[in-house]
């Protein structure tokens, strides 16, 4: 092992979701700095790893970082892990990393699980961009204000939420954002009761309350991006024209004429016309 701080991602549920390289590093380092020593022991024992641990959590991070720097100064190697997923992602770690870097020691990332990326990968959101929001404020007034600030962003919003607040947060999202936006509720990702449900935002509260189990566990909420008013206006007008022409003309011709009149792509209009025809059947 190098004389460095290794930042190691650990599983978000399924203990097998850890890389071979992460296991090698956890086995090889002199010390594992972790958020909670008992929690870390559960993972280390599962993989038969015996190594010294030291608690580094949000209440002692500055002080603990100094200890880690002293250990690195002895030429040793350290792995930094959090309770779940990637350190420094809605978890402690960033201040430790900043201090270690400032002290001149290398910091080496070992990528792996993160709830945000796991949820995004299985959500099927087609936007090119996403914004990692993490946890919204816990008080409703502050939470609504934060959602208002995010309302115009056209990227997918990635929100972490605790089970006791998920219903309130989903209700606030539905109240502040446009009703045509979609939400993916990713619950207990990689665990036994994993659920990944895609809904229109106004339907999300009813889905959560339909079965009390749906409010249990850990949640990532993904909200589709804002549709700009200009774009939605064009889309609505175009769709109206397409619907009118579809009632009078064959599908191909209706799409072609709408494309010529509006300047919008013929292929997309053809696909939309097919969907409209399907809906009408
Ligand atoms: N560092 C972690 C990561 O890389 O995703 C996040 C830690 S943060 C303290 C914990 C939050 O992450 C949970 O409240 C939940 O919102 C989300 N989370 C963690 N594990 C999850 C899982 N298995 N399924 C859904 N969400 C999860």
pLDDT tens digits, residue range 47-87? 999 999 999 998 999 999 999 999 999 999 999 999 999 99
Same domain, 174 and 270: no
The answer to whether 156 and 125 have CB atoms below 8 angstroms apart is yes
CA of 268 to the centre of ligand 1 (A): 37
Domain count, the chain: 3
Q: How far is the CA of 214 from the centre of ligand 1 (A)?
A: 16
**What pLDDT is stored for residue 233 in this prediction?**
52
Q: Is the CB of 190 under 6 A from ligand 1?
A: yes
**End-to-end Cα separation, the chain, in angstroms:** 65
Say if residue 129 is in the same domain as residue 212.
yes
Please give the share of the chain, as a percent, with pLDDT higher than 90: 85
pLDDT in the model for residue 234? 53
CATH number, domain with residue 89: 3.40.1010.10
Task: Check whether 229 has a pLDDT greater than 70.
Answer: no
| Cβ-based burial of 63 (10 A; exposed 0-12, middle 13-18, buried ≥19) | exposed
Mean pLDDT of the chain: 94
Query: What is the band of 276 on the pLDDT scale with cuts at 50, 70, 90?
Result: confident
Domain containing residue 14? 5-110
Q: Does ligand 1 lie within 6 Å of residue 114's CB atom?
A: yes
The CA 35 to ligand 1 mean position distance, Å, reads 14
Does one domain contain both 72 and 87?
yes
Instruction: Using the mean position of ligand 1's atoms as its centre, give its distance from the Cα of residue 213 in Å.
Output: 18
Task: Tell whether 137 and 39 lie within a shared domain.
Answer: no
pLDDT score recorded for residue 265: 82
Per-residue pLDDT, 43: 96
Q: Is 244 in the pocket of ligand 1 (CB under 6 A)?
A: no
Between 280 and 156, residue with greater pLDDT: 156
Same domain, 160 and 96: no
Res 277: pLDDT: 82
State if residue 116 touches ligand 1 by the CB under 6 angstroms criterion.
yes
Is the pLDDT at 237 greater than 90, yes or no?
no
More confident residue, 44 or 274: 44
99 lies in the same domain as 139 = no
> Do 127 and 224 form a contact (C-beta atoms < 8 A)?
yes
Give the length of the chain: 281
CA of 143 to the centre of ligand 1 (A): 19
Which tokens belong to 173? 């999202």
**Residue where a domain stops, chosen among 87, 110, 133:** 110
Q: What is the CATH number of the domain that holds 206?
A: 3.30.950.10
Does the beta carbon of 81 sit less than 6 angstroms from any atom of ligand 1?
no
Which one, of 201, 116, 114, 206, lies nearest residue 160 by Cα? 116
Q: CA 67, CA 80: separation in Å to the nearest integer?
A: 13
For the segment 141-168, the average pLDDT, to the nearest whole number, is: 97
Q: Which domain-ending residue is among 110, 139, 162?
A: 110
Structure tokens at 67: 């200890």
* Whole-number pLDDT of residue 267: 81
CB atoms within 10 A of CB 37: 16
Query: Are residues 100 and 197 part of one domain?
Result: no
């Amino acid at each position: 092992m190098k004389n460095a701080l290794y930042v190691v991602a650990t599983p978000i549920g399924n203990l097998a979701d850890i890389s071979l390289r992460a296991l090698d590093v956890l086995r090889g380092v002199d010390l594992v700095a972790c958020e909670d020593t008992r929690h870390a022991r559960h993972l280390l024992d599962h993989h038969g790893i015996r190594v010294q641990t030291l608690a580094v959590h949000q209440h002692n991070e500055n002080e603990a970082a100094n200890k880690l720097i002293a250990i690195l100064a002895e030429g040793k190697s350290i792995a930094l892990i959090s309770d779940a997923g990637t350190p420094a992602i809605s978890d402690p770690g960033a201040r430790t990393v900043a201090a270690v870097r400032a002290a001149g020691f290398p910091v080496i990332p070992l990528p792996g699980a993160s709830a945000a990326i796991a949820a995004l990968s299985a959500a099927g959101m087609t936007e090119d961009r996403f914004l990692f929001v993490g946890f919204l404020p816990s008080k409703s007034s502050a939470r609504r204000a934060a959602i208002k600030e995010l309302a115009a962003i056209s990227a997918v919003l990635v929100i972490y939420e605790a089970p006791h607040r998920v219903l309130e947060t989903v209700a606030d999202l539905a109240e502040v954002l446009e009703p045509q936006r979609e939400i993916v509720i990713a619950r207990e990702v990689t665990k036994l009761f994993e659920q990944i449900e895609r809904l229109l935002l106004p339907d999300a509260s009813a889905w959560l309350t339909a079965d009390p189990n749906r409010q249990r566990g850990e949640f990532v909420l993904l909200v589709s991006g804002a549709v700009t008013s200009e774009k939605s206006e064009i889309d609505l007008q175009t769709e109206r024209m397409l619907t009118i022409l579809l009632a009078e003309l064959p599908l191909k011709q209706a799409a072609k004429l709408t494309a010529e009149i509006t300047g919008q792509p013929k292929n997309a209009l053809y696909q939309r016309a097919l969907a409209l025809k399907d809906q009408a059947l």
